[in-house]
């Protein structure tokens, strides 16, 4: 068994971290049932609203950024190529 340079290099440990992360995710949502979240807007009192909202808006931002990227992405030599003309 080849020793890894760092414990994070071991794929089994990365997998363990993933499981721990998913457990924490579940715990934060479940904790919402037992704690008064002081909802102000009606939408806030939906079960797991913040979790769903955080996840979905992030997906939308990534997709939106990728879509905009199709229009505005250029190679990182873009301005250097241009400045040579001057």
23: its two tokens: 């457990």
Residues in Cβ contact with 51 at an 8 Å cutoff, skipping those fewer than 6 apart: 25, 28, 29
Which x/- pattern over 26-65 shows residues binding another protein (rule: CB under 8 A)?
--xx-xx--xxxx-xx--x---x-xxxxxx-xxx-xxxxx
**Whether the Cβ atoms of residue 9 and residue 28 lie closer than 8 Å to each other:** no
**Whether the Cβ atoms of residue 47 and residue 30 lie closer than 8 Å to each other:** no
CB closer to another protein, 1 vs 69: 69
CB closer to another protein, 1 vs 42: 42
Which x/- pattern over 4-33 shows residues binding another protein (rule: CB under 8 A)?
-xx-xx-----------x--xx--xx-xx-
């Amino acid at each position: 068994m080849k020793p890894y340079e760092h414990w994070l290099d071991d794929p089994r440990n990365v997998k363990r971290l993933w499981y721990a992360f998913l457990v924490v995710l579940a715990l934060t949502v479940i904790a919402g049932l037992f704690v008064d979240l002081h909802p102000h807007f009606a939408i806030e009192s939906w079960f797991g609203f913040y979790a769903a909202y955080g996840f979905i808006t992030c997906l939308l931002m990534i997709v939106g950024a990728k879509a905009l990227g199709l229009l505005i992405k250029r190679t990182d030599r873009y301005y250097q190529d241009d400045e040579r003309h001057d």
